Amino acid sequence: MPSRRTKIVATLGPASSSPQMLEQLILAGMNVARLNFSHGSAEDHMARAHLVRELAAKHGRHVALLGDLQGPKIRIARFASQRIELARGDTFRFSVSHPRDAGTQEVVGIDYPDLVKDCKVGDELLLDDGRVIMQVEQVTATELHCTVLVGGPLSNHKGINRKGGGLTAPALTDKDKADIQLAAAMELDYLAVSFPRDAADIDYARQLLKEAGGDAWLIAKIERAEAVADDEALDGLIRASDGVMVARGDLAVEIGDAELVGIQKKIIAHARTLNKLVITATQMMESMIHSPMPTRAEVSDVANAVLDYTDAVMLSAESAAGEYPVEAVQAMDRICVGAEKHPTSKKSGHRMGETFSRCDESIALAAMYTANHFPGIKAVIALTESGYTPLIMSRIRSSVPIFAYSPHRGTQARTALLRGVEPVPFDAAALPPSKVSQAAVDELLKRGAVEPGDWVILTKGDSYTTVGGTNTLKLLQVGGQLV
C-alpha cells in the first residue's frame, strides 16, 4: 500500500527511454510520465507512451501520461561559431533581417519578428532563463540595440524573455496545433498548455483537442507575468483549466526570483480552492543532473511544495537527460514521505464558509469532512466515472487515503496524478447492486489497506455509468454484513 500522498512527475528523454530505465522509474515511484513536445519526434513520443503503459500494466501500476506543448518560446537563431561570450558593457543587436545561421559577437537573428515591435528603450531582456541580461538602448524597424548588463556565454536557440512579461506571442503555434492532434491520437491523460495568457487560450486549446477527438484534462502552465498580475487574471486561468503547473523557469525570469516563492504558494492555494490540481515544476533537483544526491536547498524546496499541498512535484532534465534519473525519483519519494510525516495540518478549513454548486461536489466534501472527524475511518472509496469526485476529495487536507474505483483505463491513469488518491480497477456495473459494497471493501482487505473493525466511507451514484452522478455516501464497517 503506498504511503506517499504527493505524486511524482518525471520527464522522459534520452536518459529515460529504454525499457529497462522506464521500468526502474515506474518501480521507483513515477506516477506521471511527462512527454516534452519541445524535443523529440512524434514517433519517439508514441514509442515511449506505449512502453510506459505496457510496463505499468505489467507491474499493476497506474502511470498517467502528460503531454507538454512547446508553446511560443521566443528564441534567438544560430551563431556561426555555435556560441559567443558576452561581457558587461558590450553592445549587442537582435535583428529580424540578419541571416539565421550567421550570428556573430555583435548580432544574432531572431525567429520572432514582433520582438522588435513589442520592445521599447529601457526594457530588460533576459536570455537563457536569465543567465544573460541586456538593456534595450535603441529600437529600429528591424533591430534592437542593447547593452549587456550581465554577461556570460550565449549559444544557439536560447530563449528570450522580457522582464515584466508583455510579449504578444499567441499561446498556440502551428506546431502546438499539430501536437494537439498527436495528443488526441495517443489518448494522453493530460495536456499542458505553455505560456497561456488568459482563459481564452485554454478554451481554444480545449476546442482543438475536442475536435481532434481527445479527452485529456488540460493543465495551464503559469509562466507569464500577466498570468499572475492580479487575482482576477490568475483565477480566470485556473478556472478555465483542469489543473495548473507552477512553471518556475520562465515565471521567475519574468517576475524576478525574489517574488517566486510567494507566488508559488499563492498559485497552489488558489488552485486548491478552485477545485483544480496543481504540479510544482522546474529545477526541483537540478544538481542531480550530475550528482547522485540532492542539495539541502533542493530537499527543502521539494518539502516546502509538499507542505503547501501541491498534488505533484516534477523532474525535468534530472530524469530526461541527467546521469541519475532513478536516484532522482527515489530522492523525491523519500523527501515527500518525510515532509508528509510533519503536515502543517491534518484538518482542513477548505471552503467551510462557502456554498457548494453540485451534488457530487457536496458528497465529496462531506465524505472528507467525515473522514477527518471520525477517527475509525481508515479509507475513502470513490466509485467514479471521470475522476471528478476523487479530485474534489483530494483538495481537502487529510491523512486518510482515497481510493478511486473505476472500470476505465483513462480514469485510472488520470487519478494517479491526484494527491492522496490510489486508482483501483473496479467495475461496479458488472455486479448485482447488493454485492457492490462488499466487493469494494473486499478489494481493500485484499490490498492490506484496512482490517476488520475499521470504518470505510463509500461514495457512489445510483447509476454507475453517469458522469457527475455521485449522490450517495455510506459508512461501512469492515467485517460486518455489507449491502
Cell numbers representing residue 400 in the block? 486518510
Could you confirm whether 282 is annotated as catalytic? yes
Q: Give which of 194, 173, 201, 184 is closest to 65, Cα–Cα.
A: 184
Q: Give which of 414, 381, 425, 380 is closest to 398, Cα–Cα.
A: 380
Q: What is the side-by-side strand order in the sheet with 124-127?
A: 107-109, 91-95, 143-150, 132-139, 124-127, 160-162
CA atoms of 147 and 141, how far apart (whole Å): 18
What is 193-221 written as a DSSP string?
ESS--SHHHHHHHHHHHHHTT--PEEEEE
What is 127-188 written as a DSSP string?
ETTTTEEEEEEEE-SSEEEEEEEE-EEEETT-BEEETT------S--HHHHHHHHHHHHTT-
Set 4, 5, 7, 34: catalytic member: 34
Set 6, 280, 282, 459: catalytic member: 282
CA atoms of 284 and 276, how far apart (whole Å): 22
Cell numbers representing residue 112 in the block? 520572432
Could you confirm whether 173 is annotated as catalytic? no
**Could you tell me if 279 and 244 are in contact, meaning their C-beta atoms sit under 8 angstroms apart?**
yes
CA distances from 121 to 109, 117, 158, 179 (A): 19, 11, 22, 37
CA atoms of 331 and 322, how far apart (whole Å): 14
Match 451514484 to its residue by C-alpha cell.
461
Set 75, 131, 265, 266: catalytic member: 75
**Could you tell me if 350 and 356 are in contact, meaning their C-beta atoms sit under 8 angstroms apart?**
no
Set 197, 221, 397, 460: catalytic member: 221
What are the residues whose beta carbons fall under 8 Å from the beta carbon of 259, sequence distance 6 or more? none
Burial 403-433 (b: 16+ CB within 10 A, else e): bbbbbeebbbbbbbbbbbbbbbebebeeeee
CA distances from 78 to 248, 361, 420 (A): 26, 52, 46
Catalytic residue list = 34, 75, 221, 282
